[in-house]
Structure 1
Amino acid sequence: MSSPVNTKGKGWGIAAAACVGLWLVQNGSADVTPPVPTAAEAFAAGPHEHTGAAAAPLPPSVPVRLRIPEIDVDTPVMPLGLGADGSLDVPPTGDRNIAGWYKDGTPPGARGTAIMAGHVDNAQGPAVFYALGALRKGHRVEVVRTDGRTAVFTVDAIEVYDNDAFPDRKVYGQADRAELRVITCGGGFDRRTGYQGNVVAYAHLIGVREPS
């Protein structure tokens, strides 16, 4: 199955170039870089490992807010489209506290693979997904939707990939349950070319909180 973001497999590397580590460059150091997931947080049984029971998918509804309590993320969500080259657009670099959702793909909580992305830093400092690589299996991700429901996901794995080896099919391929990918830049930093890869958190739906 081809990627819903870029069928040629080139899009995310282009999109990731938008967060090149300006904060690190301006501070003259690459010593304080974002957390990188350990091998222990990768999939143990291949890309289609199912970790625990899954909740029934919800009807589609647009996401409006994303919360990841373990890394203190509580951010509004904006829709993202595709650029002229077929790559995923990214949120504005000037706003550190905003995540994006691929609006032509699966809404979080519905059946399939929902894609959310955000910057790791900008010129002012760490951004919304700076600590994404510090997540662990079993941590929770919550997505508030326009229908008032909160879709609750559990993290199955956190993996890091080089820019030239990003596994489009594994990350973007559609699922038979409600799954979520949260993506940012990472995987080492070079002062000339910026971040060398991407961090991806894989999660699946385990429950829903109804509006009070």
Structure 2
Amino acid sequence: MSNRSKGWGVALAACVGIWLVQNGSEDVTPPVPSAAQAFAAGPSVHTDAAADPLPASVPVRLRIPETDVDAPVMGLGLAADGSLDVPPAGNRNMAGWYEQGTTPGAEGTAIVAGHVDNAEGPAVFYTLGALKKGHRIEVDREDGRTAVFTVDAIEVYDNQNFPDEKVYAEADRAEIRVITCGGGFSKKSGYQGNVVAFGHLIGVR
């Protein structure tokens, strides 16, 4: 299925933020990327040339060294409302890949998502908003290769103004989007938006 044809209205299902509701404190909200990490601030000084795309292969593990993320990857589908589903809430250290789309490292836009928190506390992508341009995202694949991406930008979007085309559109190189809940938070309705890290493939191990 083409990323362009999905027609997703919002990024993620289940952005409730149970942990924040229970704590009721703004002091425990996840990091928010600064304006300097957005596309509008210009390209990273660490931007590397794009590597040639790989053949398709299912992802099995994702690492973000700068924020100590090291998580297995499971397949995801779409929720009933057409939004991207998320891994089971009970597993804090699980990332999910949209399995009807591009595999990480292949030509196109691979979509990865995970919880920012659950009832027990911070989850796999709690620190996603702390990433900076030039940081690395590494994805181990079933074929034994590791696709290495560089972060091009980290942006925050309100659910009502989520830019489907910008986030999900097909690319003519190997790109990745890592998505979690974020933005403003309401005790009544949970997170009001999503944090999205954009990256492109720069190497293979």
Question: After TM superposition, is the score higher than 0.5?
Answer: yes
Partner letter of residue 10 of structure 1?
A: G
Matching of residue 96 in structure 1 with residue 92 in structure 2: yes
Distance in 2 of aligned mates of 1:26 and 1:159: 27
Which residue number in structure 2 is paired with residue 10 of structure 1? Answer: 9
Which residue number in structure 2 is paired with residue 54 of structure 1? Answer: 50
Partner letter of residue 98 of structure 1?
A: M
In the alignment, is the contact (CA less than 8 A) between 1:6 and 1:87 conserved in 2?
no
Distance in 1 of aligned mates of 2:149 and 2:89: 27
Distance in 2 of aligned mates of 1:46 and 1:113: 21
Report the aligned-residue RMSD: 1.7
Which residue number in structure 1 is paired with residue 61 of structure 2? Answer: 65
Distance in 2 of aligned mates of 1:28 and 1:38: 24
Shift of 1:101: 0.1
* Unmatched runs of 5 consecutive residues or more in structure 2: none
Which residue number in structure 2 is paired with residue 20 of structure 1? Answer: 16
Q: TM-score, normalised by structure 1?
A: 0.90
Distance in 1 of aligned mates of 2:5 and 2:162: 13
Match of 1:42 among 38, 43, 46: 38
Matching of residue 129 in structure 1 with residue 125 in structure 2: yes
> How many percent of aligned residue pairs carry the same amino acid?
77
Distance in 2 of aligned mates of 1:116 and 1:3: 13
* Structure 1 pair 84–138 and aligned structure 2 pair: CA distance change class (3 A): same
* Structure 1 pair 160–11 and aligned structure 2 pair: CA distance change class (3 A): closer
Cα deviation digits, residues 31-51 of structure 1 (max 9, x gap):
32000000000013789xxx4
In the alignment, is the contact (CA less than 8 A) between 1:5 and 1:86 conserved in 2?
no
Which residue number in structure 2 is paired with residue 29 of structure 1? Answer: 25
Distance in 2 of aligned mates of 1:148 and 1:46: 34
Shift of 1:186: 0.4
- SS of structure 2 residue aligned to 1:147: coil
Distance in 2 of aligned mates of 1:182 and 1:44: 19
Distance in 2 of aligned mates of 1:191 and 1:21: 8
Distance in 1 of aligned mates of 2:42 and 2:99: 28
Distance in 1 of aligned mates of 2:150 and 2:79: 30
Which residue number in structure 2 is paired with residue 138 of structure 1? Answer: 134
Distance in 1 of aligned mates of 2:114 and 2:18: 15
Q: Report which stretch shifted further, 116-125 or 188-197.
A: 188-197
Residue pairs, 1:42-191, within 5 angstroms? 42-44=38-40, 51-191=47-187
Q: TM-score, normalised by structure 2?
A: 0.93
In the alignment, is the contact (CA less than 8 A) between 1:30 and 1:191 conserved in 2?
no
Aligned length: 201
* Structure 1 pair 61–3 and aligned structure 2 pair: CA distance change class (3 A): closer
Distance in 2 of aligned mates of 1:201 and 1:11: 16
- SS of structure 2 residue aligned to 1:25: helix
Partner letter of residue 158 of structure 1?
A: I
* Structure 1 pair 40–23 and aligned structure 2 pair: CA distance change class (3 A): same
Shift of 1:170: 0.2
